[in-house]
Amino acid sequence: MFSTEEYKIKEAPTCPHCKHKMTKTVPPPYSLGEGFGWGVSYLWICFNDECSLFVRGWEHMKENYGKIASYRFMCLPDNGMTETIAVFSHDGLRGGIVEEDKEEEQG
């Protein structure tokens, strides 16, 4: 069990690339990078499609790896470490978004 009480970053951080608020997201079942396991119950991810990191990522991946992919900026809530996480479409990782404070009003 993870205790979110011990997390250092409990409030949505701001993406340094686009200044948008990041979104709480359940980690995908895979991890990226050597020896990098998630170890957290959620991640902070920037889902702004105009984020400079995300926009440049498509070109970077195509030029360097010949792949249709990009990456989004993410932050680990437990220690504040920042990373990038690969996505293969604009909707990548969106399935894990935790919608906490919906501003929509019903009725």
* Closest separation in Å from C-beta 37 to Zn ion: 24
Binding mask 66-105 for Zn ion (x = CB under 5 A): -------x--------------------------------
Of 23, 48, 70, 84, the one binding Zn ion (CB under 5 A) is 48
Residue 51, phi-psi category: left (phi > 0), alpha (psi -120 to 50), beta (remainder)? beta
* Closest separation in Å from C-beta 38 to Zn ion: 20
Q: State the Cα–Cα distance between residues 41 and 71, nearest whole angstrom.
A: 20
Q: How is the beta sheet containing 43-45 ordered, strand by strand?
A: 23-25, 43-45, 70-75, 82-87
Window contacting Zn ion (CB under 5 A); options: 11-19, 59-67, 84-92, 96-104? 11-19
3-state secondary structure of 65: helix
Of 23, 24, 45, 46, the one binding Zn ion (CB under 5 A) is 46
Let me know: does 51 contact 71? Beta carbons within 8 Å. Answer: no
User: Is residue 51 part of the contact set for Zn ion (CB under 5 A)?
Assistant: yes
Q: Which amino acid is at 27?
A: P
Residues that bind Zn ion (CB under 5 A): 15, 17-18, 46, 48, 51, 73
